[in-house]
Amino acid sequence: MHLFHYFLAVLIIVQAAGQQSQSISWNSFKRRYDKQYIDAKEEQHRRIIFEDNVAKINRHNYEANLGLHTYTLKVNNFADMTHEEFLRKMVRRSKTNIATKVSKTFHRHTYLPPSNVVIPDAIDWTEKGAVLSLIETQGQCASNYAFASKGALEGQHFLKTGKLVRLSAQNIMDCSDKYGNEGCNGGTMEASYQYIKDNKGVDTEVSYPYEAMEGECRFNRTNVGATVTGFVDIPSGNETALQIALATVGPIAVSVDASHSSFIFYSEGVYNYPNCSKTELDHPFFLVGYDTLINGTFKQDYYIAKNSWGDSWGLNGYIWMSRNNNNQCDHWPPNSPDLSPLDYCIWDEFVKVINWNKVTSKTTLIQELKKAVKKIRKDVVFESCNSWTNRLYRMAQHDGDY
């Protein structure tokens, strides 16, 4: 108990010194997102992670206030998860990347943008009725590829038939294993399209509802909502071609690097993260349009993307991603991500390694931290970890005098 009073005292000082934080308290966070933990120990563990994320978010917003960022962050449903845990459960694809290997056998076509087309300065397919107004929630399951591919397909189906039919992500997840998709462990859009094409359709969501876990394939031809006749790859790295495709074809499924906390806690503004990767593309979602933000002399192009992380995430479930900015975070299928271990925060490991039963005072905390630091891998870059870990680590190194 002493331990947590101590942590909280430090935290309060940090926040008070920071800024006018509009931060949400632990109790209101639990209420708002209906959080339940198995026991008090688990809750304390979650609370420390939460406070750490809140501190990170507040710091970013403080910097955004100073004009250092073009977007702000906010506490959302994921604030009680560590970075590593989030990536594992929501984003990260399996290491095997079977889908990428299998996809080499797919019949690929490369997008040839029409010539002599006049491309509008902005387009938003949500305003044209091609996108479900509902924001979907994949839950703790890396089925993002299924939501991204069906989202783009719903748009194509609408543009062809005038009917917006909600399609089944669960159908894709359950039935496309042999194309290399791996249920809740990730997959690709190409594998999903190839499955729907070969299967001659995908069921409607109403007939085959989402369960956030992989099950038996229960495809039923009676309930097919849409079919795929083919799919094309847009030439990689060419944002002009992507803009033409978005303007003339409709919503487009893409993969981006979504592995950073700034993405996970994105609130609003144009997401512009210079360190975003162009090769480690781990998160599929779909683009529904593009536009330009103009504020005085400041101009910033952006894509409008729809995510599958619920409506508490981002701009009511959407994100504005920087556009014509050297292909930042990339936006291209196909993809073969493998996150760098350096991107992971080691907080999880820290918490696991520390023998919390022995921690009864600041002195014993320091002793346990020292042991924990020795046990933790040396190849982890501490700078990439959260401020709490840094602080604890430095405390351990400096005998608590830090």
Ligand X SMILES: *[C@@H]1O[C@H](CO)[C@@H](O)[C@H](O)[C@H]1NC(C)=O
Contact set with ligand X (CB under 6 A):
113, 207, 220, 222-223, 238, 240-241, 244, 275, 295-296
- Residue whose CB is less far from ligand X, 144 or 384: 384
The distance of closest approach from Cβ of residue 241 to ligand X in the complex, given in angstroms and rounded to an integer, is 4
The distance of closest approach from Cβ of residue 238 to ligand X in the complex, given in angstroms and rounded to an integer, is 4
Distance between CA atoms of residues 29 and 32, nearest Å: 5
Distance between CA atoms of residues 12 and 18, nearest Å: 10
Is the distance from CB of 350 to CB of 375 less than 8 angstroms? no
- Residue whose CB is less far from ligand X, 200 or 352: 200
Beta-bridge partners for 233: 110
Is the distance from CB of 332 to CB of 281 less than 8 angstroms? yes
Nearest in space to 239 (alpha carbons), one of 269, 195, 203, 278: 278
CA geometry: angle at 277 spanning 90 and 186, to 5°? 30
Distance between CA atoms of residues 370 and 373, nearest Å: 5
DSSP SS3 for 288: strand
Residue entry with tokens 């309060």: 12
Secondary structure element (H or E) that encloses residue 170, with its range: helix 169-175
- Residue whose CB is less far from ligand X, 131 or 321: 321
Beta-bridge partners for 321: 271, 303
The distance of closest approach from Cβ of residue 3 to ligand X in the complex, given in angstroms and rounded to an integer, is 30
Beta-bridge partners for 137: 309
- Residue whose CB is less far from ligand X, 185 or 238: 238
Report the amino acid identity of residue 16.
Answer: A
- Residue whose CB is less far from ligand X, 10 or 241: 241
Between the alpha carbon of residue 302 and those of residues 5, 306, 309, the distances in Å are 44, 13, 20
- Residue whose CB is less far from ligand X, 65 or 355: 65
| Those residues with Cβ within 8 angstroms of residue 42's Cβ, 6 or more apart along the chain or in another chain | none
The distance of closest approach from Cβ of residue 96 to ligand X in the complex, given in angstroms and rounded to an integer, is 28
Beta-bridge partners for 318: 306, 315
- Residue whose CB is less far from ligand X, 308 or 322: 322
The distance of closest approach from Cβ of residue 12 to ligand X in the complex, given in angstroms and rounded to an integer, is 27
The distance of closest approach from Cβ of residue 7 to ligand X in the complex, given in angstroms and rounded to an integer, is 26
- Residue whose CB is less far from ligand X, 5 or 299: 299
The distance of closest approach from Cβ of residue 95 to ligand X in the complex, given in angstroms and rounded to an integer, is 23
| Those residues with Cβ within 8 angstroms of residue 85's Cβ, 6 or more apart along the chain or in another chain | 348
DSSP SS3 for 6: helix
Q: Exposure of 166 by Cβ count < 10 A (0-12 exposed, 13-18 middle, 19+ buried)?
A: middle
Q: Exposure of 202 by Cβ count < 10 A (0-12 exposed, 13-18 middle, 19+ buried)?
A: buried
N- to C-terminal Cα separation, the chain = 22
The distance of closest approach from Cβ of residue 28 to ligand X in the complex, given in angstroms and rounded to an integer, is 27
Token pair for residue 165? 């039919």
The distance of closest approach from Cβ of residue 240 to ligand X in the complex, given in angstroms and rounded to an integer, is 4
- Residue whose CB is less far from ligand X, 244 or 354: 244
The distance of closest approach from Cβ of residue 222 to ligand X in the complex, given in angstroms and rounded to an integer, is 4
- Residue whose CB is less far from ligand X, 205 or 368: 205
Distance between CA atoms of residues 72 and 269, nearest Å: 6
Distance between CA atoms of residues 181 and 96, nearest Å: 11
The distance of closest approach from Cβ of residue 273 to ligand X in the complex, given in angstroms and rounded to an integer, is 7
- Residue whose CB is less far from ligand X, 27 or 295: 295
